[in-house]
Amino acid sequence: MRIGTTQAALAPLFITYLLVKVVHHLAGFKYDLVEEGVLNAKFAIDLASWGVVYAVTYFLLSKLAPQKSAPVR
């Protein structure tokens, strides 16, 4: 496994984590999985926000990151 590949896979997750934390803080959204459990509306909101932010982050990073070209033979 190459280091660049691992970093490329972890970058969207790290950026997603930071963005979700900032957005939840700015919106005043607080959710604790241990205290509130899984089967409630806050869990659905948390999961949806993670999904949307990850999809946008992954899309933007894939468009902004330089594409590796195929080797010339």
The answer, as to whether pTM is greater than 0.95, is no
Q: Where are the domains of the chain?
A: 30-62
Residue 73 pLDDT: 67
pLDDT tens sequence for the chain (73 residues): 344 667 677 889 999 999 999 999 999 999 888 888 888 999 999 999 999 999 999 999 888 877 666 566 6
Contact present, 58 and 12 (Cβ < 8 Å): yes
